[in-house]
Structure 1
Amino acid sequence: MMQQATIHSHAEQLRLAAQNMLTCPPLRESSTLQGDDRIQLAYAIQQHNIQQQLSQGARIVGRKIGLTSRSVQQQLGVDSPDYGCLFAHMAYADNDEIQIQNLLQPKIEAEIALVLKQDLTHQQHTLADILSATDYAVAALEIVDSRIQNWDISLVDTIADNASCGLFVLGSQPKPLSELDLINCNMQLFENDIPVSHGQGKACLGNPLIAACWLADRMVELGTPLRAGDIVLTGALGPMVPAKAGATYHAIVEGLGQVCIHFTQ
């Protein structure tokens, strides 16, 4: 009973922060989120708000993987990624416009997105399973956002806050995986044509397919396997940067072309 009350109160704190466009203090400061089960509780808080959005007509279109950078994992004291939920209303088109005032404290990062053509339902997936189940890959931008004040997040905070998910943009040049070098592909992210971030596919757990494999296993374990048509944001290829009003951002991912978004003032 105590856990349910904790889940509900913290989920409501995050929901109201998003609704009222006012950030909230870090959840980890609560005594009810201490102990060995804090990660389980954080995911339960995330799931509570997912269910609330579903009850209001939202549609799940995939999942995002976070904490795929070894340096960020070390910073938060963890040794595995986390995940969040992608909804249809979070999706923007390549070269679209985003009203920045609808976000709290957005940052932007470039990724490789996979779109599935088969369900992934095994208890333990191989990279071959991911390869055969993927319809195509596209360059993507994730606009991460945090409902936690000043991005002062721990693992508990970001998990509960839907892995700090905001919006996402898919590129317009889908490619089969057979045409790509996902490990060594280069990425450059530009702000108004000025380079602000760069990296390679290997920055994402050594290989974006490893990240996808981890997610597929985790979703089966939870009874919500990845399905045909799902979008998987595999994780950042380079450091994220703050998104600025009036700025245009575009990323070029080797083999996948360009993806672009404009932030209106």
Structure 2
Amino acid sequence: MDAAAIAKTVLAAIDGGGQAEPFTAKDAAFSEADAYAVTARLRELRTARGEKPVGRKIGFTNRNIWAEYGVFQPIWGDLYDTTVRDVTPGDRVEVSQLPEPRIEPEIVLGLERDLSPGMSVQEIAGSIGWVAHGFEFVQSIFPEWRFRVADCVADGGLHGRLFVGPRWQLAARQRETLASDLSALTIRLSRNGEFADAGTGANVLDGPVQALAHLVAVLGKDRLNPPLGAGEIVTTGTLTRAFPVVPGERWATEIEGFDLPGLSVEIG
């Protein structure tokens, strides 16, 4: 299958809130490697029209949801200046234009230095400048969220929007225990004041910094897509299950065990 043609199909669907048949249904041989070639072409299309890549999302880091989606490994996709913005608690977020949007509470990391293969988890933690809590809204251009892993990758890693809460700047001493501290945090997610789910930092590949280390290793083997660099934003995967959203709902989180505030947003 032609990577450029698939990238155009994906972008048209995302832009228009439309959907398409999974690419693996058309070609069973369409692989994860093929899909990351689509990632590179999709980035070319988006940058050509003026969008700027600002980081990456890591998806399917939460092993607890693998069976629900039939995807049993992490994936990644690009973030853009058009899909990421800062929010404060109570803000209204516009996501209804996305195909079948779902909300994911995540830990977001800001890179202060370039990352390269072979770095230890501690070295990677020392390269993180800030930490935040955010909501990623994922989308599926494939009806009813039915796909295989290669389809997810081709669909921009399922990324729709990322809304980043207040950023906590890290001192050098805080980075020394960052990996274990983020692993130990707990989160409670509610919809319209009613409990929806709970999770921990350890749900995402044993912790957000560990998830970042996984991505560093994956990109070290990728000849088509760039390594992680200083200034990039990385969102590390949902700490709870992902939930469909509809306009008018209010979603909120409470975090314990780490010095980050919860976040609340109204769906627009």
- TM-score, with structure 1 as normaliser: 0.89
Checking the alignment, whether the CA contact within 8 Å between 2:71 and 2:148 is kept in structure 1 is: no
Q: Does 1:54 align with 2:54?
A: no
Aligned residues: 256
SS of match in other structure, 1:221: coil
Q: Does 1:7 align with 2:9?
A: no
Q: Over the residues paired in the alignment, what is the CA RMSD in angstroms?
A: 2.0
Q: How does 1:26-175 map to 2 (within 5 A)?
A: 26-31=22-27, 34-35=28-29, 38-74=31-67, 80-95=73-88, 96-121=91-116, 123-175=117-169
Checking the alignment, whether the CA contact within 8 Å between 1:145 and 1:164 is kept in structure 2 is: yes
The equivalent of 2:246 in structure 1 is 244
Checking the alignment, whether the CA contact within 8 Å between 2:101 and 2:138 is kept in structure 1 is: yes
Structure 2 gaps of 5+ residues are none
Q: Which moved more, 1:186-195 or 1:170-179?
A: 170-179
Q: Which moved more, 1:149-158 or 1:160-169?
A: 149-158
CA distance in structure 2 between the aligned counterparts of 1:194 and 1:84, rounded to whole angstroms: 31
| Aligned residue identity for 1:225 | P
Q: Does 1:261 align with 2:257?
A: no
Q: Which moved more, 1:176-185 or 1:112-121?
A: 176-185
- 1:77–1:250 distance in 2 versus 1, CA, 3 Å: closer
SS of match in other structure, 1:40: helix
CA-CA distance at 1:171 after TM superposition: 1.2
Checking the alignment, whether the CA contact within 8 Å between 1:139 and 1:253 is kept in structure 2 is: no
| Aligned residue identity for 1:19 | D
| 1:203-231 per-position Cα deviation (integer Å, ceiling 9, x unaligned) | 11112211100112223333612111111
CA-CA distance at 1:79 after TM superposition: 5.0
Runs of 4+ in 1 over 3 A off after TM superposition: 71-80, 177-180
Structure 1 gaps of 5+ residues are none
CA distance in structure 2 between the aligned counterparts of 1:104 and 1:78, rounded to whole angstroms: 19
CA distance in structure 2 between the aligned counterparts of 1:38 and 1:76, rounded to whole angstroms: 17
SS of match in other structure, 1:42: helix
Q: Does 1:213 align with 2:218?
A: no
CA-CA distance at 1:173 after TM superposition: 4.5
Checking the alignment, whether the CA contact within 8 Å between 1:173 and 1:257 is kept in structure 2 is: no
Checking the alignment, whether the CA contact within 8 Å between 1:197 and 1:240 is kept in structure 2 is: no
